[in-house]
Amino acid sequence: MKGGVIMEIMDFICIKCPLGCMIQAELENKEVRKVTGNTCSRGEDYVKKEIINPTRTVTSTVMVINGEIPMVPVKTKGDIPKDKIWDCMRVLSGIKVAAPVHIGDIIIENVAGTNVNIVATKDIKPLE
Ligand code: SF4
């Protein structure tokens, strides 16, 4: 129908704190018109971001060569678009780094074209 108004209701569970508020967003022609169910403003911000540009921090591990333990935990330095998570995980699955590894070391630059780096979150000493 040309020029018609498209109304939509979307339900969310806020993940910004353990309370987990059930939030409902009303959209009119894809624009957020009303947000209800949130106990605080972080819930409204979360829902709007989820609708417009959902992002996540990714955590994983990569293999360490000659390290005191065989894997090092890593994470994205910031959020990446949700639809890039699997690309990011695919890249990570093929990575090996040599010990020593230090917290904050950049393991991968610009992972999956997101302009976000993957960094180590633990020190790994080399084998004695
Ligand atoms: S809306 Fe506020 S109180 Fe509710 S879960 Fe989100 S952050 Fe917590």
Cβ atoms of residues 59 and 73 within 8 Å: yes
3-class secondary-structure state, position 91: helix
Question: How far apart are the C-alpha atoms of 87 and 68, rounded to whole Å?
Answer: 29
Report pLDDT digits (tens) over 15-26. Answer: 999 999 999 999
Banded pLDDT at 128 (limits 50, 70, 90):
confident
| Cβ neighbours of 92 (radius 10 Å) | 20
Ligand 1: residue whose CA is nearest its atom 8: 17
Pocket test for ligand 1, best of 39, 46, 48, 49 (most atoms within 8 A of CB): 39
Question: How far apart are the C-alpha atoms of 115 and 47, rounded to whole Å?
Answer: 24
Q: Which atom of ligand 1 approaches the CA of 17 most closely?
A: 8
Report pLDDT digits (tens) over 32-80. Answer: 999 999 999 999 999 999 999 999 999 999 999 999 999 999 999 999 9
Banded pLDDT at 2 (limits 50, 70, 90):
low
Its pTM surpasses 0.75:
yes
The pLDDT assigned to 66 comes to 96
Question: How far apart are the C-alpha atoms of 95 and 65, rounded to whole Å?
Answer: 10
**What percentage of the chain exceeds 70 in pLDDT?**
98
Ligand 1 midpoint to CA 45 (Å)? 10
Ligand 1 midpoint to CA 25 (Å)? 14
